[in-house]
Structure 1
Amino acid sequence: MNSSFKIVLVAAAVFFGMMLLNKPKEKEAQEAQTNEVAVQESAQASMTDAELALIPSIVREIGVRDTTGGRESFSYRTDAVALNVADGHLDGTISVDSFTVAVDSALVRHFPVEMNVTQQDMAYNTLVKELKEIGVYRKFASLRKPVPSADTVRLENDVLAIEFDAHGGIMSKATLKKYKTYFASKTDKNKIDSAQVEVFSPADRATYWFKIDYNNNYVDTHHLYFTPRQVNDSIVEMTVDLGDGARWGYRYTLPQGESYLVRMDVIQHNTQNVLPQNTTQMGMAWKMELPRLERGLTFEERNSGIYYRYFGETPDNINGNSSKTEKINHRVQWLAFKDQFFSTIMLPRKGFESGVVQQQAYKVHPDAEHIKFLAADMVVPYSATDEIAASFDVFIGPNLYPLLKDIDVQLGVDDGLSLTRVIPLGWSWLRWINTLIVIPVFTFLSGFVSNYGIIILLLTIFIKLIIFPFTYKSYLSQAKMRLLAPEIKEINDKYPGKENAMVRQQKTMALYSRAGASPFSGCLPLLLQMPILIAMFSFFPSCIELRGQSFLWVQDLAAPDVIFTLPFSIPFYGKEVSLFCLLMTATNIVYTRINMKNQPSSSSMPGMKWMMYLMPVMFLFFFNSYPAALSYYYFLSLLITIIQTWIFRRCVNEEKLRRKMAENAARPKKKSGFMARLEEAQRKQQAALREQQKGRRR
């Protein structure tokens, strides 16, 4: 194949095929999840006599004391269970639906005859679960009940707004104020419904919690209700009162201005009599359903997932359409839940010690609201004696290369964080093209031109100017081969048949040598262009600046430019029709035709013609769901190449080129060592062939 563009697209086609092979088996995952839930629901809770014997003393410890009537009693209540302890005896009630049953009766499964089996099991399991958790949580038990709170607590600056939830004391919702979603309207596909981007929210089941070492057990903080305190416009504290002046919680700090970094400190005060003082580690769990934020689904699925970096190493990831669990056995510097253009990155000041990360990819339909489930169960260093037990920097924002690169400076990390690696800019040996050339030029042009369609045009021209010498050299090579075509045909006609193959090859190579031409001289320029073309294939789907940018008929350059929707679906193509993809395909066919005319060997291989024209049609299927900016760039690149070819054809005087080739042929040439060895090998091969033919005649 004569075009480097086609080679790049072949690589894209292979990648597309791999993507199809890696589709998650949604049915199997759903069945496994259903079976797991069924097993959990069918399992009966149980409680030993030893565990039950501890409950009265625990209720005395955590319950509300009452001395009415001169008799001391303690009570503890939740939504379903009411417990009382007086004179060391435990009683109370459990409420299920409209039934209220005494605790003593429920523990021996003695229920009213009006209760069905399901209600009886629910009452028993609820009671046992509550009693067991009281045994675990003790002083924390009362913190598991909702507390009245005022309005939603928020922190916000010019670019980021954070909402907090008292249940778990977490950041429950993060909104990017300068970025919007660009989904097609459900009532009119030609219109866009936009809203501010929510990186995570309660609708995504987004949560995180810590596991506090307490009473030989672990208390999960997402079961606790925290008390919020707005310190100032930049700081919010979420704490739980453990009694006797002991407090534990979080302090969140969001700097004013245009900062996407939230500082999260785990704070504690006077906890030495409540929590063990020899603890050096603390568990942290983090999970969420990754929301769909982009109109173009192909690259959002492919470029989202879990990213993490071992100290001093290149970041690793689980992305694409795979469902996978990975165990982390070494220290990790940061952990990211990443969407195509936005990320939430946890950066513990002392790193993560170890952990497990998991990704479950969904089989996403066009109207899906979530694309993946991400989870991490990590271990972080913990200081039991310090006021700040652990500290995190949390990045919540866009995957913008200059911004992520600047985080290293903001956090003062000497050896760097490599956060820019969450942006997929190609393989390591090609990535430098984007980071050192394409992104700086793109950013520079963005400072002067507001229309990103024009910026892509200027960027394409800039790249074409860089590779112009290689393109020109490739055309000259094709022109020389075209001029030599009649003489090559004469050699082929003079030495026909397989028995003359070596002679034909020798004569042809001698002709090339005399004329100063080579059939391979045009390959090197094409190979040198390939890295740039592949780098651009990675750059445009990762360029967040293109989100929501319109150009001509395109509403969003980061998504497919759908001009109409078919009433039926075509395999590997879909229903939606991308116009730039059609233009790219048509231009590619024209370029293929021009290129074949410039190749003298094309007429001798008529069987290849249909294959050459088939490839652009195949890529029509592959690129239809890709971002409009990518198809637009390849369309421009091909169009400029066609124009360059026409200009070369007009400007290059083939008669002068023929005379120059004749002059080269007239000059005495000193054979290079390689050519001498090649000709010697050909002579030996030809001699061996003659000996073999003589042996057959005998």
Structure 2
Amino acid sequence: MNKNTLIGLLLIGVILFGFSWYNNKQYQEQQAVRDKQAREQFVRDSTARANAPKPEVIAPSAELLAADSLRKAQEEKALGEIARAKTGTQELTTLENDLFVITFSNRGGRIAAVELKDYKKYGGDPLMLFTDKGSKFGLQLYIPELINTGDLYFTLANKTENSISYRLAADSANYIEFNYAIQKDNYMMDFSVDLSHFKGRLAQNQPDIKLDWNIVSPQEEKGFQNENQYTTVAYRFPGVDGIEELGVSDKDKSEEIPTKVEWVAFKQQFFSSIIVYKDGFVNNKLAFNTFPPTDKNIKDFSAQLTLPYTPETMKYDFNLYFGPNKFTTLNSYEGMYFEKLVPLGWGIFGWVNRWLVIPIFDFLSKYIVNMGIIILILTLIIKIIILPLTYKSYLSTAKMRLLKPDIEKLSEKYPKKEDAMKKQQAMMELYKKAGVSPMGGCIPMLIQLPILFAMFRFFPTAIELRGKSFLWAEDLSSYDSIWTFPDGFSIPFYGDHISLFTLLMAVSLYLTSKINYAQQPMSSNQMPGMKFMMLYMMPIMLLLWFNNYSAGLSWYYLLSNIITLGQTYLFRFAVSDDKLHQQMKENAKKPVKKSKWAERIEQMQKQAQAQQSTNQQARNKKK
């Protein structure tokens, strides 16, 4: 990676920037032409419709009226009063507790909309998980004609402060009843379908009942791309301690699940709508369609869930959750595994978040309101916890640096490739005498990696950061922006704005890498590619990657880098190279006690060396 390579990369970046700017300019010009043509066509069409002759209204004939009346009479005979339920006027009713407002509609006897009281949409509007226009809910029944209850108008049967019931009547004695009940300070509500008064109407050979549920999830957050990345359909199999997801995609996606599913969640970045049936849905079809970024919605969710049915079935009992994807809230519903909706990471990354980061974060949140300060304290706590590892890593690197002259002498002593094994043995002997472990600087850093990755998973999905401002960032859960490019302009792989937290984080990473690289025992001539990667490529890659990510995440990494810089200078002041070198010389005078593992390694090296010598002699004889 020399000067010419760097210049080449910069030229490529300039070309990409210019190409993007030119394409955006061309697109805007073409779009302006298309908009003008569309307006002109609209005027022409409007004028044509206004001047068009009015169609002659022909009254229906007596035969048509009679046929229509006969059809309606036959339908009413088969369906009873349900036939008249196909027409009506929508009436909305609400139930609410301290956490949400649930709006019900007599059309389908369904939940038409949900508003969460403790949260607001980005921009300050009420936060709606879904609205009347974006929700559908219904059961497919054969009575004996196939109907969908979502298309019919129910009658409000009963309403109290905490419950509401809707009925769909076939006659005075036969009806279906939907019952809803909410609880105080609870995002979960009860929902039941009572068929006990409808037994004579359902087809006897009906094997199951299909439940159709559709909602359109509005865009709630600042950035479409980041919100869409965490918006999907999730579900859980009974008896399993994890969940499955349809995955994240900008395209349409669907999946058929023939086995039992205990619950299905329409999951957004920070909120979820969940339906639970503990006996299990079977033969399910789940899907979502993704809206374009210019739309005000994220995804159109749909689920067709199958309920087993027999003539003895009297009732279906469900639970519905409408609330935040907050780990402690979801975890309070024991045995449901709702907390798996929060993507904490797999394996050790998830453990770090669950048992270290979240408890510290929740504890600090009880006493401190400013989330930026909480992130600062959290960073300090984590840095203090791993301080012994950081100090050990510094010592190991310092010792390796002091051994650099001796290592270079060994390289001069064994310059040939055939002497690589001897050189390796000599280096290992040198390390043992000096009391240095070549992996001493790497292992502590590897132990810190789970924490770094855990932070990467935690901050973009931490609802505690949502809507919380700090310094110039108006929302720590989304990107901060000190400059937004003109409409329609965007830099490839970067975005349409400049995030100052991300920019500062990249600069701090460059400085940290530069200082740490100067401490390495290897010279720039030995590892030029690594130097370029650590000093330049990594900061640039993270600058491009994190520009659209959570400002809280960039703030954490910025703080982490600054503290690392401070620790490095503190260690330099506290650790004397002369004293450390003298200690290494004293260690070299002491007899080295080899472990069984070291003896085995040494024996294997000798065997390999002997084999190499034998092979060389054989090659010489052939010559």
Contact kept? 1:234, 1:253, Cα under 8 Å = yes
SS in 1 for 2:573: helix
Which whole-Å deviations, capped at 9, do the CAs of 1:211-244 have from their partners, x for residues lacking one? 12321x4321011011224521111122122213
Change (3 A) 1:129 1:573: farther
Q: Label 1:99 to 1:532 Cα distance change in 2 as closer, same or farther (>3 A).
A: farther
Query: How far is 1:444 from its partner?
Result: 0.5
In 1, distance between residues paired with 2:395 and 2:589? 20
Question: Does residue 236 of the first structure (1) align with residue 182 of the second (2)?
Answer: no
Alignment-mate amino acid for residue 647 of structure 1: L
The aligned counterpart of 2:579 is 656
CA apart distance, 1:137: 4.6
Is this contact kept in 2: 1:159–1:259, CA < 8 A? yes
State which drifts further: 154-163 or 583-592: 154-163
| Aligned: 1:597 with 2:597 | no
Q: Give the CA deviation at 1:135.
A: 8.8
1:560 CA displacement: 0.1
Assess, with a 3 A threshold, how the Cα gap between structure 1 residues 250 and 437 changes in structure 2: closer, same or farther. Answer: same
Cα gap change, 1:492 to 1:130, in 2 (>3 Å): farther
For residues 299-338 of structure 1, give each alpha carbon's deviation from its aligned partner in whole angstroms, at most 9, with x where no partner exists.
3222111111111112111131164322222222111111
Q: Deviation at 1:678?
A: 2.2
Is 2:325–2:341's contact at 8 Å kept on the other side of the alignment?
yes
Q: Deviations over 1:346-400 (max 9, x none)?
A: 01243323312123334x32x42122222111112457667x6212111101111
CA contact (8 A) 1:326 1:357 kept: yes
Superposition deviation, residue 445 in structure 1: 0.4
1:107 Cα offset (Å): 12
Does structure 1 residue 401 correspond to structure 2 residue 354?
A: no
Q: Distance in 1 between matches of 2:477 and 2:76?
A: 52
Report which stretch shifted further, 126-135 or 494-503.
126-135
What secondary structure, in the 3-state scheme, does the structure 2 residue paired with 1:438 have?
Answer: helix
Equivalent of residue 218 in structure 2, options 267, 278, 291: 291
1:535 and 1:163 map into 2 onto residues whose CA distance is: 38
Match of 2:380 in 1: 461
Indicate the residue corresponding to 2:265 in structure 1.
336
**1:260 aligned residue (187, 202, 205):** 187
Q: Which residue of 1 aligns with 2:4?
A: none
| Residue aligned with 1:168, SS | coil
Q: Secondary structure at the match of 1:670?
A: coil
Q: How many residues align?
A: 561
Deviation at 1:675, TM superposition (A): 2.1
Q: Deviations over 1:646-698 (max 9, x none)?
A: 11111112222112211211111122222222223333333333344444443
Question: What is the match of residue 70 of structure 1?
Answer: none
1:101 aligns with 2:60: yes
Residue correspondence of structure 1 range 127-526 to structure 2 within 5 A: 137=79, 139-147=81-89, 149=91, 152-182=92-122, 193-203=123-133, 205-215=134-144, 217-255=145-183, 257-268=184-195, 270-276=197-203, 281-313=208-240, 314-321=242-249, 323-362=252-291, 364-365=292-293, 367-382=294-309, 389-408=315-334, 416-526=335-445
1:487-566 maps to which residues of 2 (within 5 A)? 487-566=406-485
Change (3 A) 1:541 1:444: same
Q: 1:129 to 1:632 in 2, by over 3 A?
A: farther
- Cα pair distance change 1:480/1:127, threshold 3 Å: farther
Q: Does the 8 A contact of 1:238 with 1:249 survive in 2?
A: yes
User: When the two structures are superposed, what TM-score results if normalisation uses the length of structure 2?
Assistant: 0.85
Q: Which amino acid aligns with 2:60?
A: V
SS in 2 for 1:274: coil
Deviations 1:84-117, CA, capped at 9 Å, x for gaps: xxxxxxxxxxxx9944434856999xxxxxxxxx
Say which SS state the counterpart of residue 424 (structure 1) adopts: coil
Pair 1:486–1:238, CA change in 2 (3 A): same
SS, match of residue 279 in structure 2: coil
Q: 1:689 aligns with which of 606, 612, 623?
A: 612
Provide Cα deviations, 1:45-94, integer angstroms capped at 9, x if missing partner.
xxxxxxxxxxxxxxxxxxxxxxxxxxxxxxxxxxxxxxxxxxxxxxxxxx
Corresponding position of 2:499? 578
Q: Which amino acid aligns with 1:347?
A: V
8 Å Cα contact 2:79/2:170 also seen in 1? no
Tell me the residue number matched to 2:10: none
Gaps of 5+ in 2: 1-54
After TM superposition, the structure 1 stretch with the greater mean CA deviation from structure 2, 686-695 or 295-304, is 686-695
CA distance in structure 2 between the aligned counterparts of 1:560 and 1:129, rounded to whole angstroms: 60
Shift of 1:574: 1.2
Residue 342 of structure 1 aligns to which amino acid in structure 2? F
Q: Are residues 658 and 213 of structure 1, via their aligned partners in 2, closer, same or farther at CA, if it must alter by over 3 Å?
A: same
Secondary structure of 1:283's counterpart equals strand
Q: Give aligned-pair identity as a percent.
A: 38
Deviation at 1:160, TM superposition (A): 0.5
- Residue pair 1:159, 1:177 contacting (<8 A) in 2 also: yes
Q: 1:291 deviation in Å?
A: 1.7
- Unaligned regions of 5+ residues in structure 1, if any? 1-95, 109-125, 183-192, 409-415
Q: Distance in 1 between matches of 2:191 and 2:475?
A: 35
CA-based RMSD of the aligned residues comes to 2.6
Residue 34 of structure 1 corresponds to none
Q: CA, structure 1 residues 107+627, in 2 after alignment: closer, same or farther (shift >3 Å)? A: farther
**Inter-CA distance 664–195: structure 2 relative to 1 (3 Å threshold):** same
